[in-house]
Chain A
Amino acid sequence: MAELMAAGEEPEILFWVGCAGSYDERAQKITRDICKILHHVGIKYAVLGTEESCTGDPAKRAGNEFLFQMQAMTNIEVLNAYNIKKIVTGCPHCFNTIKNEYPGLGGTYEVIHHTQLIQDLINEGKLKAEGGESFKGKKITYHDPCYLGRGNGIYEAPRKALEVLDAQLVEMKRCKSNGLCCGAGGAQMFKEPEKGNKDINVERIDEALQTNPQVIAAGCPFCMTMLSDGIKLKDKEQEVKVLDIAEITARANGL
């Protein structure tokens, strides 16, 4: 972003990578695929690089409003300094925080999740599913991230991105507004679960496996971790792939 600024240019959209997308090895792949999609359709985008920092979401959900607002105000200063208008992000937590909680602190932007961007590109005819891996007839089940689905009512965009694949979409018993959490939200990602009789991600994976999928589609780096761990635990890594919608889209287009 700093380079664009120095060149006196402004991006169409800022890609907010997020901490998971930046540091988590599995999520980095998703980040790179989002970039490939943006590049493929010729959108002029920028990233903040080392100037990006945590949105404050996990601190806020853990109850630390101080830390959240410190992070938020610092980020808003950076975003406003670059005159950012539109943001796309690969993380529903970053998405929810910037979209809903930053405006009250002085940061108002048009914020979309990458599945919404993919849906828009499909609708505009700029993105298809051709030239790459075929998902035709494959059984795919989509897991709704809480902060995208219930949190913000986005259920259709990710499904739309899967519909173009001509795959066989199967819904889990608990889906859309009734979707079961992967177990990572509310800062659970960073702590051991409380005492119980089962881990939440295992409960969810059991349900996903009941649909006999070849692919479990995700739209959130934290869900990705929880679902992948569940699949590993069930020793199903060979038969069932957990893939982000961005990865599926990139593969289908041979990017």
Chain B
Amino acid sequence: MVAQILFLVLTLAAIALFTVNLRKIIRNIRLGKPVDRKDQPQKRLMTMLRVAFGQSKMVVRPIPAFLHFFVYIGFVIINIEVLEIIIDGLFGTHRIFNGLGGLYNFLIGSFEILAFTVWGSCAIFLVRRNILKLKRFSGVEMKSWPKSDANYILITEILLMSAFLLMNAADAKLQLLGASHYVNAGAFPVSQYLINILPSSESALVILERSCWWFHIIGILAFLNYLPYSKHFHILFAFPNTYFSNLEPKGEFTNMASVTNEVKAMLDPSFVPAETEPGKFGAKDVTDLSWVNLMNAYTCTECGRCTSVCPANITGKLLSPRKIMMDTRDRITEVGQNIDKHGAEHQDGKSLLDDYISREEIWACTSCNACVEACPVNIDPLQIIMELRRFAVMEESQAPGSINAMMGNIENNQAPWKYSPADRFNWAQEN
């Protein structure tokens, strides 16, 4: 009974804490500017099913795609087991679903195989990160916390899967010993090999089984609450992020409606624009970005596929699209913490541009869309870079000198080079 109450309290506390943190993240995302992404629901649903559920953009790199698929399927399916654990924990039952008979054995058997593949995949992932030191996992932005974050996630998953398998092995042995409470249920295709190394005394086995059971569920509850602080949040946000992703051609950049009004007024003095709130052009800080940009930042799992295909980054420039996303998340998190501590009006005098992302980074972008194409969950770093450029150019007039010259040429000669408009048709005369 004590165990049941303890379980209930722990579960409720974990869910409550997670809800509080999730709501904070959603509040932070809502600090972003509005953008309509509710059109074409069917196409959006298909995009989500294909890209997030179907992992269609992972296949470009077959080895990690294969390993990631195991971890993903393991995560989704082993949650059925978590449901049983929760019911057992609340009602003091043991393997409540065993009434399913053959199906139950099939389920437990598959969970074991999945747990083993998750275990193996995570181990290989650790090797790729820490021993093979793949280039994609390094870079200026992958020091300290981001680096440990990745390792914590993998180690936790390995520990959780180990506890699950060890628990099953102890359970299986207790079933063989005919211990009371341990009903004959389940199939143990993986953990059967662990049986022999376990102690043979019933009381020791019960302690082992119970410890693993508690470790497993407490681990899951703790992991749930780790997510909001971690890059691993993508396991939840990949779905809304792909649903709300951009459906237009990648080459198309948004036309700013606020500018349209002013340009129309300039070209036609009789034009009276609809009253709009005066706002900033472009983005200096995260709150000038759209909510989709901010959701993108929370979804990023720092895999580095974007950075590894970025022409600027490949040729040694400072720009890294992954860093753009990580900086955006760090800054919006900071803005959110400021609101929690000092209220909504508080200004800390910092901004995304300059305090996090430098001018050198934003001007190195070729807008080639390789990063957008590469992202397995449809994150768009390019849009953030463009918004920062818009601020630098339209609010501050701070573009590199040669860019200013190019813009001056367009203004004066209607071409980015210093040629006379009268000469525009000369190509037809020469041969």
Q: List A residues at the B interface (Cβ < 8 Å).
A: 17, 19, 21-24, 28, 31-32, 35, 47, 49-50, 52-54, 56, 58-67, 69-71, 73-74, 96, 100-101, 104-105, 146-147, 150-153, 174, 177-181, 183-200, 202-204
Q: How far is the CB of B260 from chain A (nearest CB, A)?
A: 6
Pick from B314, B402, B405: contact of A203, CB under 8 Å: B314
Residue in A closest to B400 when the chains form the complex, CB atoms: A191
Complex CA gap A181/B314 in Å reads 11
Residue in A closest to B410 when the chains form the complex, CB atoms: A54
When A151-B249, A181-B370, A194-B312 are in contact, do A62 and B399 touch as well, CB less than 8 Å? yes
Pick from A71, A181, A189: contact of B410, CB under 8 Å: A71
When A63-B393, A69-B259 are in contact, do A191 and B415 touch as well, CB less than 8 Å? no
Contact residues, B384-431 vs A (CB, 8 A):
386, 388-394, 399-400, 402-403, 405-407, 410-411, 414-417, 419, 421-428, 430-431
B260 with A151: CB separation less than 8 A? no
Write out the residue numbers on chain A whose beta carbons fall within 8 Å of the beta carbon of B414: 53-54, 71
A177 with B373: CB separation less than 8 A? yes
6 contacts between A and B (CB under 8 A): A60-B253, A62-B389, A70-B263, A153-B249, A187-B367, A194-B318
Residue in A closest to B260 when the chains form the complex, CB atoms: A69
Write out the residue numbers on chain B whose beta carbons fall within 8 Å of the beta carbon of A31: 427
Write out the residue numbers on chain B whose beta carbons fall within 8 Å of the beta carbon of A202: 315
Write out the residue numbers on chain A whose beta carbons fall within 8 Å of the beta carbon of B249: 96, 100, 151-153
When A50-B422, A197-B316 are in contact, do A59 and B407 touch as well, CB less than 8 Å? yes
Complex CA gap A199/B316 in Å reads 9
B416 with A58: CB separation less than 8 A? yes
A65 with B427: CB separation less than 8 A? no
When A21-B427, A146-B369, A187-B403 are in contact, do A193 and B415 touch as well, CB less than 8 Å? no
Question: Quick check: is B221 within 8 A (CB to CB) of the other chain?
Answer: no
B252 with A187: CB separation less than 8 A? no
Best-buried of B60, B255, B282 by chain A (most CB within 10 Å): B255
Complex CA gap A210/B402 in Å reads 33
B366 with A185: CB separation less than 8 A? yes
Complex CA gap A127/B369 in Å reads 33
B263 with A178: CB separation less than 8 A? no
Complex CA gap A232/B431 in Å reads 23
Question: Quick check: is B248 within 8 A (CB to CB) of the other chain?
Answer: yes
Q: Which 6 residue pairs spanning A and B have beta carbons closest together?
A: A151-B251, A186-B367, A63-B389, A197-B316, A53-B414, A100-B252
A188 with B366: CB separation less than 8 A? yes
A186 with B366: CB separation less than 8 A? yes
Write out the residue numbers on chain A whose beta carbons fall within 8 Å of the beta carbon of B70: none
Question: Quick check: is B256 within 8 A (CB to CB) of the other chain?
Answer: yes
Complex CA gap A56/B410 in Å reads 8
Complex CA gap A54/B415 in Å reads 5
B393 with A64: CB separation less than 8 A? yes
B315 with A150: CB separation less than 8 A? no
B367 with A185: CB separation less than 8 A? yes
Question: Quick check: is B274 within 8 A (CB to CB) of the other chain?
Answer: no
Residue in B closest to A146 when the chains form the complex, CB atoms: B368
Complex CA gap A153/B253 in Å reads 15
B252 with A96: CB separation less than 8 A? yes
Question: Quick check: is B64 within 8 A (CB to CB) of the other chain?
Answer: no
B315 with A200: CB separation less than 8 A? yes
Binary CB contact string for chain B from 299 to 332 against chain A (1 if under 8 A, 0 otherwise):
0000000000101101111110000000000000
Complex CA gap A61/B317 in Å reads 19
Write out the residue numbers on chain B whose beta carbons fall within 8 Å of the beta carbon of A47: 425, 428
Pick from A49, A64, A96, A105: contact of B425, CB under 8 Å: A49
Complex CA gap A52/B372 in Å reads 32
B312 with A66: CB separation less than 8 A? no
Question: Quick check: is B107 within 8 A (CB to CB) of the other chain?
Answer: no
A150 with B373: CB separation less than 8 A? yes
Give the contact stretch, choosing among B43-51, B91-99, B227-235, B357-365.
Answer: B357-365
A199 with B407: CB separation less than 8 A? no
B312 with A200: CB separation less than 8 A? yes
B419 with A23: CB separation less than 8 A? yes
A181 with B366: CB separation less than 8 A? yes
Contact residues, B13-70 vs A (CB, 8 A):
60
When A50-B421, A151-B249, A203-B314 are in contact, do A63 and B394 touch as well, CB less than 8 Å? yes
When A63-B394, A70-B263, A180-B311 are in contact, do A146 and B366 touch as well, CB less than 8 Å? yes
A65 with B390: CB separation less than 8 A? yes
B259 with A66: CB separation less than 8 A? yes
Pick from A17, A69, A177: contact of B263, CB under 8 Å: A69
Question: Quick check: is B262 within 8 A (CB to CB) of the other chain?
Answer: yes
Write out the residue numbers on chain A whose beta carbons fall within 8 Å of the beta carbon of B264: 73
Best-buried of A23, A194, A200 by chain B (most CB within 10 Å): A194
Complex CA gap A62/B253 in Å reads 12
A58 with B370: CB separation less than 8 A? no
Best-buried of A101, A180, A190 by chain B (most CB within 10 Å): A190
Write out the residue numbers on chain A whose beta carbons fall within 8 Å of the beta carbon of B425: 22, 47, 49-50
Complex CA gap A151/B249 in Å reads 6
A200 with B259: CB separation less than 8 A? no
Complex CA gap A22/B250 in Å reads 27
When A66-B259, A180-B370, A195-B317 are in contact, do A23 and B253 touch as well, CB less than 8 Å? no
Write out the residue numbers on chain B whose beta carbons fall within 8 Å of the beta carbon of A65: 255-256, 259, 281, 390, 394
A62 with B403: CB separation less than 8 A? yes
A63 with B369: CB separation less than 8 A? no
B410 with A183: CB separation less than 8 A? no
A183 with B311: CB separation less than 8 A? yes
